[in-house]
Amino acid sequence: MSEVALKDALVTLKESGVRITPQRHAILEFIISSETHPTADEIYKALESDFPNMSVATVYNNLRVFRNAGLVKELTYGDASSRFDFVTHDHYHIICNECGKIVDFHHPGLEEVEHLASHVTGFEVTSHRLEVYGICPECTAQSAKAK
């Protein structure tokens, strides 16, 4: 986990007037160190032994605080479970159709698409979203073993 990212995130929260509770700190630390784009339930399950009085609602509420502070992005991909991403700079996701794993990737050429869309339509582009779907290497290997 990046200690610098955690310290910067804590400073951002403090500057936003958000009190840093042990639960907030743990949730933030988990998201920063996670590479899996966890759901609130996954975060809750990972932390429940350390915080037995913490509820799933506490996790959701803190994720909303983090989202409002610009620290996390909420990803909704049709499976009814929001996933949360600490990487808020522009990047894209490839999603496994089998297990739901989400992996980040960056392709700078897509920034040109925003410029073209703006030029052609006159819109002021504020954002875009790209999702690529496929089968991850682990699911491909499992499928090959099953045959």
Q: Do 136 and 103 touch, CB atoms closer than 8 A?
A: yes
Which of 30-34, 49-53, 86-90 shows the lowest per-residue confidence on average (mean pLDDT)? Answer: 86-90
- Tell me what pLDDT residue 65 has: 95
Q: Residues 128-132: contacts with CB within 8 Å, 24+ apart?
A: 130/92, 130/93, 131/77, 131/92, 131/93, 131/94, 131/95, 132/92, 132/93, 132/94, 132/95, 132/105
Shortest CA distance to 44 belongs to which of 32, 34, 33, 58? 58
The residue out of 54, 85, 116 marking a domain boundary is 85
Q: The CATH number of the domain where 121 resides is what? A: 3.30.1490.190
The pLDDT of residue 55 is above 90: yes
Quickly state the pLDDT bin for 146 (edges 50, 70, 90). Answer: confident
Number of domains observed in the structure of the chain: 2
Q: Please indicate, yes or no, whether residues 14 and 62 belong to a single structural domain of this protein.
A: yes
Shortest CA distance to 30 belongs to which of 62, 53, 55, 52? 62
Q: Please indicate, yes or no, whether residues 35 and 68 belong to a single structural domain of this protein.
A: yes
- Tell me what pLDDT residue 92 has: 86
- Tell me what pLDDT residue 107 has: 80
- Tell me what pLDDT residue 88 has: 73
The pLDDT of residue 78 is above 70: no
Quickly state the pLDDT bin for 79 (edges 50, 70, 90). Answer: low
Q: Please indicate, yes or no, whether residues 61 and 12 belong to a single structural domain of this protein.
A: yes
Q: Please indicate, yes or no, whether residues 49 and 113 belong to a single structural domain of this protein.
A: no
- pLDDT digits over 102-129, tens only? 888 878 777 888 899 999 999 999 888 8
The residue out of 85, 102, 136 marking a domain boundary is 85
pTM of the shown model = 0.77
Q: Please indicate, yes or no, whether residues 18 and 63 belong to a single structural domain of this protein.
A: yes
- Mean pLDDT, the chain, rounded, equals 89
Q: Which residue range is the domain that position 123 belongs to?
A: 92-146
